[in-house]
Amino acid sequence: MTDCDETPCFKEAMDRQDSKKWYKAMLSKLESLDKNDAWDLVQLPKGQKTLPCKWVYKMVTSDSFPKYKARLFEKGYKQEYGVDFNEIFFFVVKMTTLRTILGLVAAEDMERIQMDVKTAFLHCDLHEDIYMQ
């Protein structure tokens, strides 16, 4: 899959001829988040603050077939270390690990399969409450 088009904001996505496809991508993401119990709608407790969010749009193509993707992100840069969070952790594969695995695949003449787990980030436990607008 390669990047072929980006739409920077909601207004621009909704002003385009393909706005129905962007809207459908947004609904698909919201349904996925809802299905996975990613959030609860609540009243904001006193003394808490919310993080704003932003839709990010990307069109990817594979075999000349465009796919519309919409992702919802909270603007985490609005958080303050020690106030809103105490640690940061990103689960990523180190390049040395990836090279080792690919080397074994090549040496043993094995098949390699790539996959994307669309909701991988939902399969972790948060011990904090995060409030998003």
**Is position 131 within any domain?**
no
**Is position 132 within any domain?**
no
**Is position 133 within any domain?**
no
pTM for the model = 0.63
Please give the tally of structural domains in the chain.
1
Res 91: pLDDT: 67
**Is position 38 within any domain?**
yes
The span from the CA of 3 to the CA of 10, in Å, is 19
Which stretches within 16-121 are classed as H helix? 19-35, 95-107
Q: Taking residues 112-123, what's their average pLDDT?
A: 69
Give pLDDT tens digits for 70-95: 988 888 777 777 766 776 666 677 88
Domain that holds residue 57: 2-122
Q: Using an 8 Å Cβ cutoff, are 58 and 6 in contact?
A: yes
Q: Taking residues 101-108, what's their average pLDDT?
A: 93
**Is position 23 within any domain?**
yes
Q: Taking residues 105-110, what's their average pLDDT?
A: 94
In the predicted model, is pLDDT for residue 114 greater than 80?
Answer: no
**Is position 106 within any domain?**
yes
Give pLDDT tens digits for 29-73: 999 888 888 888 899 999 888 888 889 898 888 777 788 889 888
Question: Higher pLDDT residue, 121 or 76?
Answer: 76
| Coil/strand/helix, residue 11 | helix
**Is position 128 within any domain?**
no
Res 121: pLDDT: 62
